[in-house]
């Protein structure tokens, strides 16, 4: 079984709230979709806006190896002719090998939305499909609201498909536009429809689903089980309202659960990269809990789980994450067991014994009870493991620090930090002004350490996050600070927690500097 993949991220996906793609974004995504192995790429609706018209002009310059580009539009207007219809002309001007036309299949939409007759709607479908077929186009007939229309008036919904097939449509795509059908309903209706329409024709069937009831992918798979050989969807499920069928999840399920030949194993390996690439282009943070490709998809936190996967990975993983380009992760928290700590030590390249593992585990549980959070701060975990080893000598020790924040006439708010640290037996005492207390502390600390450790010159703060843990305590609340650092090559995250935000910041900042010196 080979299901063809039809991506509509550039049209349907861009209709999602918060999704805004430039022409260059769309072109880069199109190239990436082709490199990945997508069979069809729907570029947009050339009659709806200048951006899509420009895309179709420029997409011809791309060197696409496999994907066929489709322009999306609708059938001719009621009472008109294809030859003089401006929207039909724009579809032609797009010069794509594939034309996808949406048409009404529900009598409710024909009479109340199009405000035309049932017979005229059939004529619109017949004329439009036949017109593009005479011009040599591959024609996708998108049967909008098909499942609702089928339930309302089965015979009319089937009649719309029949005239499209008779006019030469290559594909009849059954659209679950409102996203409210259940998988068993979709499978039954698709099966009945194909059995009625397909005999005696060469027409093939596709499925296009939305995710309003949370079953967009399940409904797409139900359509395939019932005989559809094309699945339409968007990368990461972007789309109007709740979104479309997530093509990333659908592809993984087709290949790994239904043994479908929609992609090769090598192509499947690029699934996670594709998901993250489109997220980056759309300026949307990746969903860490996305099936298959999310950061948390193969993350293990509970001690019992980790103990099991160390013996047998498939005990708590339904597939090998490498098949979709993802990886297994073991998290460290108050729920951890010794196996979590031992696994992380091995991952960090550290040789630790049982007593050291136990010591670090106890400390982590105590610290998380005080507000620390180590799942995203693995640099702080590695430092604890290093400090637990005999003979570990920290590169510096804090003696004390003083921070003054004041408002000065003519200069506004000013922060000044004084830091005293012991570096290899030598006491360094420095002071610095900064934009705020943490910035001043960072600058003063660098002044003390740089003469001894010039490599710290390349280290900078990439992100600084503060979270209030118990807001009911108002200004006395426990505060957690996480700091993301980078030297341009490596990135790492450290954490601190205290009722004093400056103290919490110092803990995370000191860990960041120490990690840069002993582990990077």
**What tens-digit pLDDT sequence spans the chain (520 residues)?**
899 999 999 999 999 998 989 999 999 999 999 999 999 999 999 977 888 999 999 999 999 999 999 999 999 999 999 999 999 999 999 999 999 999 999 999 899 988 899 999 999 999 999 999 999 999 999 999 999 999 999 999 999 999 999 999 999 999 999 999 999 999 999 999 999 999 999 999 999 999 999 999 999 999 999 999 999 999 999 999 999 999 999 999 999 999 999 999 999 999 999 998 998 888 888 888 999 998 777 766 665 655 555 665 666 678 888 999 987 666 554 455 556 666 666 766 667 777 776 776 677 677 666 666 666 667 877 777 788 888 888 888 888 888 888 877 777 788 888 999 998 888 989 999 888 888 888 899 999 999 999 998 998 888 888 877 665 655 556 788 888 889 888 888 888 888 888 888 888 888 888 888 888 7
Clarify whether residues 320 and 401 are in a common domain. no
Considering the domain architecture, whether residues 209 and 233 belong to the same structural domain is answered as yes
Same domain, 365 and 435: no
Please list, in sequence order, all residues whose beta carbon lies within 8 angstroms of the beta carbon of residue 92, skipping any fewer than 6 positions away. Answer: 135
259 with 317, same domain: the answer is no
Which parts of 177-248 are beta strand (E)? 204-209, 230-233
Q: Let me know whether 40 and 99 are in one domain.
A: yes
Distance between CA atoms of 313 and 285, rounded to whole angstroms?
29
- Among 352, 387, 422, give the residue marking a domain's end: 387
- Identify the three-state secondary structure at position 115: coil
Whole-number Å distance between alpha carbons of 10 and 46: 12
- The answer as to whether 140 is a domain residue is yes
Residues 165 and 34 occupy one common structural domain: yes
Indicate whether 240 and 312 sit together in one domain: no
Identify whether 292 is part of a domain. no
The answer to whether position 234 is within a domain reads: yes
Task: State residue 332's pLDDT score.
Answer: 54
Contact (Cβ atoms closer than 8 angstroms) between residue 68 and residue 40: yes
Residue 435 makes CB contacts below 8 A (sequence gap 6+) with 415
The residue behind tokens 């990269």 is: 273
Residue range(s) defining the domain that contains residue 372 = 299-387
Domain CATH code at residue 45: 3.20.20.70
Residue 494 lies in a domain: yes
Residue at a domain's end among 263, 290, 308: 263
Query: What is the number of other CB atoms lying within 10 angstroms of the CB of residue 408?
Result: 8
214 and 123 within one domain: yes
Please tell me the total count of domains within the chain.
3
Is residue 293 domain-resident? no
The reply to whether 373 and 421 lie within a common domain is no
CB atoms within 10 A of CB 359: 17
The CATH number of residue 467's host domain is 3.30.160.270
Count other Cβ atoms within 10 Å, centred on residue 225. Answer: 14
- Residue 416 belongs to a domain: yes
Whole-angstrom distance, CA of residue 216 vs CA of residue 57 = 32
Spatial separation of the C-alpha atoms in residues 122 and 514, rounded to whole Å: 73
48 half-sphere exposure, CB direction, 13 A CA radius: 13
Do residues 268 and 293 make contact, with C-beta atoms less than 8 angstroms apart? no
CA distance 397 to 386: 15
Residue with tokens 């549980």: 365
243 and 306 housed in the same domain: no
Q: Of 516, 462, 501, 466, which Cα lies nearest the Cα of 484?
A: 462
Q: Are residues 93 and 235 in the same domain?
A: yes
Strands, E, within 270-411: which ranges? 299-300, 329-330, 397-408
Which of these three, 346, 364, 387, is where a domain ends?
387
Residues 6 or more apart from 109 whose CB is under 8 A from it? 144, 145, 149
Q: DSSP letter for 349, please.
A: T
Q: Tell me, yes or no, whether 129 and 222 share the same domain.
A: yes
Q: Say what the pLDDT of residue 519 is.
A: 83
Q: How many beta carbons lie within 10 A of that of residue 22, not counting itself?
A: 12
For residues 450 and 444, the answer to whether their CB atoms sit within 8 Å is no
């Amino acid at each position: 079984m080979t299901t063809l993949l039809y991506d509509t991220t550039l049209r349907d996906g861009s209709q999602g709230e918060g999704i805004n793609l430039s022409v260059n974004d769309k072109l880069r995504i199109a190239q990436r979709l082709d490199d990945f192995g997508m069979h069809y790429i729907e570029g947009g609706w050339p009659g709806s806006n200048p951006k899509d018209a420009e895309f179709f002009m420029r997409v011809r310059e791309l060197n696409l190896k496999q994907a066929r580009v489709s322009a999306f539009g609708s059938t001719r207007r009621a009472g008109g002719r294809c030859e003089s219809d401006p929207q039909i002309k724009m579809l032609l001007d797009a010069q794509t090998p594939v034309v996808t036309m949406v048409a009404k299949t529900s009598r409710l939409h024909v009479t109340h939305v199009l405000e035309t007759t049932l017979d005229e709607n059939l004529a619109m479908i017949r004329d439009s499909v036949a017109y593009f077929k005479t011009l040599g186009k591959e024609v996708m007939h998108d049967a909008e609201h098909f499942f609702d229309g089928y339930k309302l008036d089965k015979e009319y919904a089937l009649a719309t498909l029949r005239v499209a097939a008779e006019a030469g449509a290559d594909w009849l795509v059954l659209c679950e536009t409102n996203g409210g059908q259940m998988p068993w309903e979709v499978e039954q209706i698709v099966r009945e429809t194909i059995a009625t329409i397909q005999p005696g024709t060469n027409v093939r069937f596709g499925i296009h689903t939305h995710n309003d009831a949370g079953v967009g992918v399940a409904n797409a798979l139900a359509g395939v089980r019932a005989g559809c050989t094309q699945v339409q969807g968007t990368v990461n499920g972007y789309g109007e309202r709740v979104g479309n069928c997530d093509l990333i999840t659908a592809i993984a399920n087709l290949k790994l659960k239904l043994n479908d030949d929609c992609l090769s194993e090598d192509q499947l390996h690029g699934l996670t990269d594709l998901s993250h690439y489109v997220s980056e282009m759309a300026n949307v943070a990746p969903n860490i809990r996305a099936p298959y490709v999310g950061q948390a998809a193969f993350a293990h936190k509970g001690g019992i789980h980790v103990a099991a996967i160390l013996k047998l990975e498939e005990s708590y993983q339904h597939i090998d994450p490498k098949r979709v380009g993802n990886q297994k992760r073991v998290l460290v928290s108050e729920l951890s067991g010794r196996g979590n700590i031992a696994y992380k030590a091995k991952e960090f390249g550290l040789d630790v014994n049982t007593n050291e593992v136990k010591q670090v585990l106890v400390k982590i549980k105590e610290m998380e009870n005080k507000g620390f959070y180590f799942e995203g701060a693995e640099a702080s975990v590695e430092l604890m493991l290093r400090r637990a080893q005999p003979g570990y000598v920290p590169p510096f020790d804090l003696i004390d620090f003083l921070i003054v924040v004041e408002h000065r006439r003519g200069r506004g708010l000013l922060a000044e930090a004084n830091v005293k640290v012991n570096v290899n037996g030598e006491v360094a005492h420095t002071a610095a002004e900064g934009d705020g207390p943490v910035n001043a502390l960072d600058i003063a600390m660098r002044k003390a350490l740089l003469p001894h450790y010039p490599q710290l010159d390349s280290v900078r703060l990439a992100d600084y996050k503060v979270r209030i843990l118990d807001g009911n305590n108002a200004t006395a609340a426990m505060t957690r600070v996480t700091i993301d650092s980078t030297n341009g090559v490596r990135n790492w995250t450290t954490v601190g927690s205290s009722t004093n935000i400056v103290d919490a910041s110092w803990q995370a900042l000191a860990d960041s500097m120490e990690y840069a010196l002993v582990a990077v």
